[in-house]
Structure 1
Amino acid sequence: MQELNELLGQIDSMIGGSSWFIWALLGTGIFFTLYLGFPQLRFFAHAIRIVRGKYDRSDDVGDTSHFQALATALSGTVGTGNIAGVALAVHWGGPSALFWMLVTAFLGMTTKFVEVTLSHKYREQAEDGSMAGGPMYYMKNKLNMKWLAAAFAVFTVISSFGTGSLPQINSISNSMATTFQTNETIFGYNFTMVSTGFVLAIFLALVIVGGIKRIAKVTEKLVPAMSIIYLIGALAVIFYNAENIIPSFTAIFADVFTGSSATGGFLGASLAFAINRGVTRGLFSNEAGQGSAPIAHASAKGHEPVSEGMVAILEPFIDTIVICTITGLVLLSSGVWNEKHHNTFQRADLQILSGKYSDTSTEHQQQLAKHLSKETPLPLFNGQIRTENGVAQDANVTVINARSVAEEITFHRDGQPLTEAIAIKDGLPVDATVLVKGKSLVHSAPLTAIAFTRGFFGEYGKYIVTIGLLLFAFSTAISWSYYGDRAMTYLFGSKSVIYYRIVYVVAFFLAAFTDTTIIWTFSGIAIALMTLPNLLGMLLLHKDMKGTLKEYWANFDKEYPQETRKEVEEKA
C-alpha cells in the first residue's frame, strides 16, 4: 500500500498536484469571467428565477426539470468535498487554503456557466430515447475532435470512481467507524467499515439501475434534506464558539499571501502548498471545469442552452461559498484542526523517522516541514522497536502521522497491545497487521466529526456529521454513476452500461475499507485527467459561447419585452 501510495503521489505531483494545473484551472475561470463580463454577478438573480420555472415551456425537450437537474448536479458536488475535503484542505494547507477554495468557487461560477451552456447546446438523444450530453458531445459535434471527446469520456469513467465512488464510501465508512468506535474485525478489516460498504452498495445498485429519472427523484429530496441537517449542526458549533468567529475569519485571510504558520500540532504550510490544496479541494468540492455537471444538466428540459448554464452558476455558490465556508468556520472556531487526537494510524499517513524531533522546537518544526514537503527528506528508521504492553522501549525514533509528530504511541495486533520486537523497514512495520495508535492530527471526515462535538449538541454532534455525510456522499455516488454511464454510452453504446454499473458498485464496496490517503491521491489524479480536455475545449469555443449568449438575450428581449436584459441585470 505504501508503494502504491508513493507511485500515485508521484503521478499526482505531475498533474493535479502541479502548479501548472492550478493556473490552467484558475486562468480559464479568470479569462471567461473577464471575457463575458462577470456573468456570475450579473445573472445570479436571473438564474434563481429560471430554477423556479418562470420561463419554462410545455414543449421543452428533456428528461428532468431545471430544479431536478440542479439537484442532481448539486448531489454530485455537495458531498465529501464539503465535509472531508474542507478538513483535508485545512489539514494540508492551513486556514489560508480556505481562501483559495473561495477564489476557485467564485471563478468556478463562470466556468460552470460556460461548460453547461456548451454541453446543453450540443447534446444528443441517445438510442434509448434519453438525452445524452456533456463536453464529449461539443468536442465531437462542434470542434470535430473525436479523439479529444473519446479521451474525455474515458477520463470521465475513471473519474466516476475517483470522484464519485471511492472517496464517498471511504469517507462514510471512516466516519461510521469514528462515531461508533468499534474494534471488531472481519477478514482483518474493521467490521463497521465493511458492513457499511456492503449495505450501501446494495442501496446504490437499487437506485442507479433506474437511470436518470429515478436518480433525479431521489436527489431532489436528498439534497434539501441533507443540507438542512448539516447546516443546523454546523451553526450549533459556530455559535457555541461565537467568540472565535472573528479570529477564524482573520486566520483565513491573514496568511493568504504568505502561507499558514506553524501552530499547535500543525507544522505549517508554504504559500504554494496552501494555494495548491485550496484550489484542488475547491475543484473536488464544486467540480467547476471538470465537465461533470454538464452531463447532468444535459438531461434538463429547455429550449435555450444559456438558461441551463445560468442555473449552473448557482452550484459553486451553494456548494463552496456557502457550505464549505460554514464547514471551515466549524473547524477553525472549534479549534480542532491543529489539535492532536487519539486515532488509529493509516499506513499511508505513517512514517517512523530515525532520531528524536519535537514540534515545540522551531528548528525541528522547520526540518519536519521540509521533510513533509519532500524538500529535504529526513532519514527513515530501519531496525527493530522493542515494545512492552504496546509501548516502545527506549527507541530513538519519531513517529510522524498525518503530517504531525505523534504522541502516546502504542503498537497492536488483533486488538491486543504487543510485547515483542517489531521489525521496521523504511519507516514502516514490516508486518502490515501491526496497527499503530496514538495522538496526532487527523484529517478528512473524522476531523469534521470531532469538530461537531464542540457545539450545543456535544457528543451527539458527531452523529449529525455521520448522517449528513451519509446523505451527502451517497447522493454524490448516485450522481456520478450517471456521469459514468453517459460516458460509457458515448464510448460503447447503451448495452455497455450494465457492466459499468456492476464494476461501479463492486468498487464502491471495496473502497469502504481501503486506505484513505490512497483513495484521495487517486482522486486528485482522476479529477485532473478529466478537467484538462474540458478546459481546452471550452477555450477553443470561447467565440461560440459569446455568440450563444448574445443570441439568448436577443430572443429573450423578443419573448419577454416587459423584462429586458437591462432590467434583469439591475435586479441582480
Structure 2
Amino acid sequence: MANESWTDTVDEAVNDTFEPVTEFLSDIVFYDVRVFDADFPIIVGWLVLAGLIFTAYFGFVQFRYLRTAVRFVSGKYEQENAPGEISHFQALTSAVSGTVGLGNIAGVAIAVSIGGPGATFWMILCGLLAMATKFVECTLGVKYREIDAEGRVSGGPMYYLRKGLAERGLARLGTVLSFASAVMILFFGFVGGNLFQVNQSLEQLTTVTDDHTDFFTGSGGALLFGVVVAVLAGLVIIGGIRSIGQVTSRLVPAMALVYVTACLIVIGFNVDAVPDAIGTIVSGAFSPEGVTGGVIGALIQGFRRAAFSNEAGIGSAPIAHSAVKTKRPASEGLVALLEPFVDTVVICTMTALTIIIAGGPLYNAARDTAAGGGDPAAAERIAEAGGDPGIAITSDAFDTALPWFPWVLTLAVILFAFSTIITWGYYGLKAWTHLFGTSRASEYLYKGVFCLITIAGALLSLGTLVDLSDCFLFLGAVFNIIGLYLLAPVVKKELKRVLEYVRRRDEGWSEERIEAAEAAEAAAEAAVPGPKSGSPS
C-alpha cells in the first residue's frame, strides 16, 4: 500500500520489536524435519495424525453419518425449546465464515504452484480427515458449554479443557490448557482474524482500482475503508452470536455460491481439459517427480494448506458451534464435520481445479520458478507480485476466462474477510471474558479495542505480528488436541446417544417419549457401580 510516513515508521518499529520473538516461536511451532529432501512441519503432522486417530476411533464417522449431519443442518431434528442461541445451520455458517477466506483463494494457489497439481489430492485427503477432528472438538464444545441467566452461551476449548479434564481427575492440567488456549485464540483474533483480514482485502481493492483511481492507495482512502469495516463489524459483534448467525447464514452461502459459480464457469469454458486435470492431480500426488520434492512435496503442500485452511484441531470452531440450540452435544458435532468438507474439499478444490485448468501466466511463472527452471522472466514476475503471489495467481487464472472477474474476486475477498472478522471478533470475545471476566465493562472494552485494531489493519501491515499470531494459533492446537485425546471416550458416548435419538425420531417417537426414555437410561446407568462417563477410569 502507499501509506507512507508515520505508518511505515510504526510498521518498522513493531516488526523490529516482535521479529526476535516471532523467529523464536516459529522455529518451535513450525519446526521442520527433512523427509525425502522436503521439509515437513511437525505441527501439520500433529493435526493430520489427530484426524487419522479420530477417524479410526469413531469408525469413520465423517463418512458413515454424513447424511445424518445434512439432515440436522436442514432442520429435520430442530428443537425450538432447546437451550442455546442459534440453529444448527446458523452455527455451521458462523463457524465456516471463520475458516473460509483468503486461505481458500490465495493459499491454494501457493500450494499447487509449489507442490504441483498433486497437492490438491493430499489437500482433499487432509480435509476428509479433519472432519473427524471437528466432530470431536465441537461435540465437546456443546457438552461443556455454559449458559448465563440471559441465555448467552460461552463455550470452546477454554471450557471443555477445564471442566472435562477436571471430571477425569486432571483439574490442574485442564486449568493450564484452558488458560493457554484462551491466550492463543485471543491474540490470533486481534491480529490474524482482524488486522490481517482488513489489510489484505484493502490490498485487493487497491489492486483492481489502481487503473481508475489512487484514492485507496493513500492514507485517507485506507482510513475510510478501515472505519467503514470497523463500524459494520462493530454493529454485528455488539449483537452477539445471534446477530453474527443471522448475518453469516445469509452472507456465507451467498458468497460461496458466487465464488463456486465463477469457478464452474471457468471450468466450463475449459471442460475438455477436466479429465486431464483430474488425471494430473492423481498422478502428481504419487509421482516421484514433482514441482518441488516430488510426492512428498505434493503431500506436504496439500496437507499444510488444508490444515491451515480448515483449522480443525485449533479449538476456534467449537466457540461458535457451542451456541447451537440442542440438548444432545453430538448433534452439533455431526453438523461441524461438514465444515472442513465445505471449506477444504469443496471450495479449496474448486480453486485448485480452476488454477490448474485455466493456468495463467503468473501460475506458470510460479510453477517454473519453484521447479528451478522455466522462463527466466518467471522470477521477475514473482518478485513484482511481492514474492508470495497467492491471490494474484488465482486472479490471473480467472482472468484467462473472465476478464471482468477480478472485480468479483475483490467483492468476494472483502466479504470473506468481513465474515472472518465478525466471527473471530466473537471468538476473541469469549477468550477475553474467560480471562478477564464477563462484566459489561469488560465486554465493551474488548469490542472497542477490536474495532480500533480493524482501523489499524487498513493503515498498517505489521507483517511480523501476523506471523506471530500464526504461531500462537497453531501452538493452541497442541494444547487443544491433548485434551481431545483425553476426552474422546466422552464424545463416543455422546455419539451413541444422538444416534439413538435419530433412530427414535425416525421411528416416530415424540420428544417427550424420547426424553423420558433417556432419563430412565441415565438413571439406570447411574445405579450401576463402577466408573461413570467422564470420571477417571
Fold match, TM over 0.5?
yes
Contact 1:132 1:298 in 2 (8 A): yes
Decide whether the 8 Å contact of 2:215 with 2:221 is kept in 1.
Answer: no
The question of 1:236 aligning with 2:265 is answered yes
After TM superposition, the structure 1 = structure 2 runs for residues 114-513 of structure 1, keeping only pairs within 5 Å, are: 114-126=136-148, 129-144=151-166, 145-181=174-210, 193-257=222-286, 261-262=290-291, 268-269=292-293, 272-336=296-360, 338-340=363-365, 365=373, 405-406=379-380, 438=384, 443-455=389-401, 458-495=402-439, 496-513=442-459
Deviates more, 1:273-282 or 1:321-330: 273-282
Q: CA deviation at 1:230?
A: 1.1
Task: Give the secondary structure class of the aligned counterpart of 1:215.
Answer: helix
Counterpart residue number, 2:26: 12
Could you tell me how far apart the structure 1 residues matched to 2:217 and 2:20 are?
23
Distance 1:71 1:439, change over 3 A: closer
Q: Structure 2: which amino acid aligns with 1:156?
A: I
SS at match of 1:58: coil
Partner of 1:568: none
Residues 1:450 and 1:523: Cα distance change in structure 2 (over 3 Å): farther
2: CA distance, partners of 1:210 / 1:360: 48
295-304 or 251-260, which deviates more: 251-260
RMSD: 3.1
- Structure 1: distance between partners of 2:395 and 2:220: 20
Q: How does 1:60-99 map to 2 (within 5 A)?
A: 60-99=82-121
* 2:132 corresponds to 1:110: yes
What is the total number of aligned residue pairs between the two structures? 475
Structure 2 Cα separation of the partners of residues 163 and 247 of structure 1: 37
Point out the structure with the larger helix share. Answer: 2
Distance in 2 (CA, whole Å) between partners of 1:167 and 1:33 is 33
- Report if aligned partners of 1:136, 1:153 keep a CA contact under 8 Å in 2: yes
Gapped regions of structure 1 (runs ≥ 5): 263-267, 342-358, 367-397, 410-436, 564-572
TM-superposition CA deviations, 1:244-268 (whole Å, max 9, x none): 3233333333332467734xxxxx3
The one-letter code matched in structure 2 to 1:316 is: P
Against the structure 1 CA distance between its residues 257 and 198, is the aligned structure 2 distance closer, same or farther, given a 3 Å change threshold?
farther
Q: Identify which of 44, 52, 55 aligns with 1:22.
A: 44
TM-score normalised by structure 1 residue count = 0.75
Contact 1:95 / 1:251 at 8 angstroms: preserved in 2?
yes
CA distance in 1, matches of 2:314, 2:21: 23
Indicate yes or no: 2:470 matched with 1:551: no
Query: Is residue 290–residue 297 contact of structure 2 (8 Å, CA) maintained in 1?
Result: no
Contact 1:280-1:524 at 8 Å conserved across structures: no
**Contact 1:29-1:111 within 8 A present in 2 as well:** yes
> In structure 1, the residue corresponding to 2:81 is in which secondary structure?
coil
What secondary structure is seen at the aligned counterpart in 2 of 1:453? helix
Give the corresponding residue for 2:528: none
Residue 506 and residue 92 in structure 1: after superposition, are their counterparts in 2 closer, same or farther (change >3 A)? Answer: farther
> Structure 2 CA distance, aligned partners of 1:479 and 1:115?
18
The answer (yes or no) to whether the contact 1:93–1:273 under 8 Å persists in 2 is yes
- Name the counterpart of 2:66: 44
**In 2: Cα distance, 1:524 partner to 1:275 partner:** 21
Give the Cα separation in 2 of the matches to 1:200 and 1:510: 11
CA distance in 2, matches of 1:113, 1:24: 17
CA distance in 2, matches of 1:172, 1:240: 28
SS in 2 for 1:70: helix
- Summarize deviations over 1:208-231 as a string: whole Å, max 9, x none: 122111111111110121112112
The whole-number CA distance in structure 2 between the counterparts of 1:466 and 1:238 is 20
> Cα–Cα, structure 1 residues 70 and 439, in superposed 2: closer, same or farther, change >3 Å?
closer
Q: In structure 2, how many angstroms separate the alpha carbons of the residues matched to 1:250 and 1:517?
A: 38
Shift of 1:175: 1.2
Is the contact between residue 244 and residue 333 of structure 1 (CA under 8 Å) also seen in structure 2? yes
Residue segments in structure 2 that go unaligned for 5+ positions in a row = 1-11, 33-40, 167-173, 510-537
Q: What is the rounded CA distance, in whole Å, between the counterparts of 2:290 and 2:220 in structure 1?
A: 39
Cα distance change of structure 1 residues 17 and 277 upon mapping to structure 2, 3 Å threshold: farther
Identity among equivalent pairs (%): 36
1:143/1:260 Cα in 2 relative to 1: closer, same or farther (>3 Å)? farther
Residue type at the aligned position of 1:178: T
Deviation at residue 557 of structure 1 after TM alignment: 3.8
